[in-house]
């Protein structure tokens, strides 16, 4: 049994090489797209949200939603469940999730010089050279951020992580496929009992990690011969209670024989461990040009376990929505530049699933009618009682979850 993994820069002829290898060997290919589909099934998250884990730009809401951690856990699980297959090709970002202990993997990095990549990009997308350069740099940033997160290294093409670095502009596709086949036959990448056991350990740790994140927890997980070690890397006030809850979840995973917990270096830092609550509003965008007010409001919501981000004008809010869609927006009406009514109108045109709560100190009855007619969830006046605002946010959140449960709206 041999596994071949491919990590590549964009426009480095990866698809043609993988297709050529598949034709010659009849190996099964497990790609990022396949992993996203499997992870979506196991997690309940849309594949599009899981794919954001591959982006260099993290969601501003992630410290409240923990979607990135959930995505990574289920991507690992999807990969681990396939890794025991004979003659498998693992292609894409997920190749870096394969543990180093699994040594029957021929790890390949496909690279190419910039001129050839630019030429391929321009030909494929019909774009000018400058646009092609920008596209390649953006995509390389994603790959660099991914490797930095997983490997703590800034160079995604670092030779330490691969058995073969192949410059694709220097060889024909058929020659590259032949070279890979020759290296696949070497004893060093043949499976051994030890390597197979590493796959089993990886699968068990992935199952435990997925169970924990579904239970709202983010801790380090290691498994070996049925023994699971959990590492808590954030400070928690009631450590014994957390340890007991973690152990109960982990012991419920088939194959776990015993569980130990320990604290890691991060436990002694100032950050506080928070269990995820998937029902609590965590993607709330506050839009108001009164900076002190909106910052204080954000802090008061956080005390009620509601995560929020802040924008100080309508234009910034609209830009943010295009990059990272919130679920609930708290919107002032009177702001410099684009006012709140125009923001509401545009949001409901482009992102109708966002529930918008108007919070203003200057609105009129006519403004109230206009906002509700445009689709605002609620219209509140400043100063507002924080409990009333919190309850309104919860009601908006319940509407969103109800809509998702019925399969309505967009992902």
**DSSP H or E stretch at residue 373:** helix 365-374
Strand order in the sheet with 28-31: 28-31, 88-91, 3-8, 105-111, 164-167
Following DSSP, what letter does each residue of 80-137 receive, concatenated?
Answer: HHHTTSSSEEEESGGGGGS-TT--SEEEEEEE--HHHHHHHHHHHHT--HHHHHHHHH
Following DSSP, what letter does each residue of 294-309 receive, concatenated?
Answer: HHHHHHHHHHTT--EE
What average pLDDT does the chain have?
Answer: 92
Which fold would CATH assign to domain 284-405? Rossmann fold (3.40.50)
Digit-coded pLDDT (tens) for 270-328: 666 667 776 778 889 999 999 999 999 999 998 888 889 999 999 999 999 988 889 99
Strand order in the sheet with 378-381: 308-311, 284-287, 328-331, 355-360, 378-381
Residue 410 has pLDDT above 60, yes or no: no
Q: What is the mean pLDDT of residues 104-117?
A: 97
> What is the reported pLDDT for 1?
66
Residue 86 has pLDDT above 50, yes or no: yes
Q: What is the mean pLDDT of residues 115-128?
A: 95
Predicted confidence band of residue 411 (pLDDT cuts 50, 70, 90):
very low
> What is the reported pLDDT for 182?
96
Digit-coded pLDDT (tens) for 202-250: 999 999 999 999 999 999 999 999 999 999 988 887 889 999 999 999 9
Q: Do domains 3-189 and 284-405 have the same CATH topology?
A: yes
Q: How many CB atoms lie within 10 A of CB 292?
A: 7
Residue 345 has pLDDT above 50, yes or no: yes
| Positive or negative: CA dihedral 71, 77, 81, 85 | positive
Of 3.40.50.2300, 3.40.50.300, 3.30.70.20, 3.30.70.100, the CATH number of 3-189 is 3.40.50.300
> What is the reported pLDDT for 302?
85
Tokens of 311: 């924008």
- The ranges assigned to domains in the chain are 3-189, 215-268, 284-405
Please report which residue ranges of 252-364 form alpha helices under DSSP H.
291-303, 314-323, 340-350
On the CB side of 34, CA atoms within 13 Å amount to 18
DSSP β-bridge partners for residue 331: 287, 358
> What is the reported pLDDT for 290?
93
Residue indicated by tokens 């330490």: 160
> What is the reported pLDDT for 24?
96
Alpha-carbon Rg for the chain, nearest whole angstrom, is 25
CB 43 within 8 A of CB 74: yes
> What is the reported pLDDT for 273?
64
Burial pattern 146-158, b for ≥16 Cβ within 10 A else e, equals bbeeeeeeeebbe
């Amino acid at each position: 049994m041999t596994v071949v993994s491919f990590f590549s820069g964009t426009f480095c002829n990866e698809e043609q090489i993988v297709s050529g290898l598949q034709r010659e060997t009849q190996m099964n290919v497990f790609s990022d797209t396949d992993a996203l589909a499997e992870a979506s099934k196991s997690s309940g998250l849309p594949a599009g949200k899981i794919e954001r884990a591959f982006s260099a730009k993290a969601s501003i809401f992630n410290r409240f939603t923990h979607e990135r951690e959930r995505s990574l856990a289920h991507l690992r699980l999807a990969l681990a469940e396939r890794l025991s297959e004979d003659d498998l090709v693992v292609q894409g970002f997920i190749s870096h999730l394969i543990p180093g202990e699994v040594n029957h993997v021929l790890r390949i990095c496909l690279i190419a010089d910039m001129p050839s990549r630019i030429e391929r990009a321009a030909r494929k997308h019909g774009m000018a050279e400058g646009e092609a350069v920008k596209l390649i740099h953006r995509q390389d940033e994603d790959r660099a951020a991914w490797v930095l997160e997983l490997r703590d290294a800034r160079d995604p093409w670092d030779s330490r992580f691969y058995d073969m670095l192949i410059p694709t502009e220097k060889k024909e596709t058929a020659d590259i496929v032949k070279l890979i086949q020759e290296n696949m036959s070497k004893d060093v990448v043949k499976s051994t009992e030890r390597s197979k056991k590493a796959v089993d350990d990886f699968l068990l740790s992935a199952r435990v990690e997925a169970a924990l994140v579904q239970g709202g927890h983010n801790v380090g997980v290691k498994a070996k011969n049925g023994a699971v070690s959990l590492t808590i890397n954030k400070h928690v006030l009631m450590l014994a209670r957390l340890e007991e809850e973690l152990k109960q979840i982990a012991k419920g995973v088939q194959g776990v024989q015993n569980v130990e917990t320990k604290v890691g270096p991060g436990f002694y830092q100032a950050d506080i461990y928070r269990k995820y609550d998937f029902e609590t509003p965590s993607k709330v965008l506050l839009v108001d040009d009164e900076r002190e007010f909106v910052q204080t409001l954000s802090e008061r919501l956080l005390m009620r376990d509601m995560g929020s981000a802040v924008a100080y004008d309508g234009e910034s809010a609209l830009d943010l929505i295009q990059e990272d869609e919130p679920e609930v927006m708290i919107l002032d009406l009177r702001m410099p530049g684009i006012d709140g009514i125009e923001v509401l109108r545009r949001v409901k045109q482009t992102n109708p699933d966002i529930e918008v709560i108007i919070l203003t100190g200057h609105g009129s009855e006519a403004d109230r009618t206009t906002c509700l007619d445009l689709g605002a969830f609620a219209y509140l006046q400043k100063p507002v009682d924080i409990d009333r605002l919190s309850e309104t946010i919860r009601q908006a959140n319940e509407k969103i979850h109800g809509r998702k449960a019925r399969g309505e709206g967009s992902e």
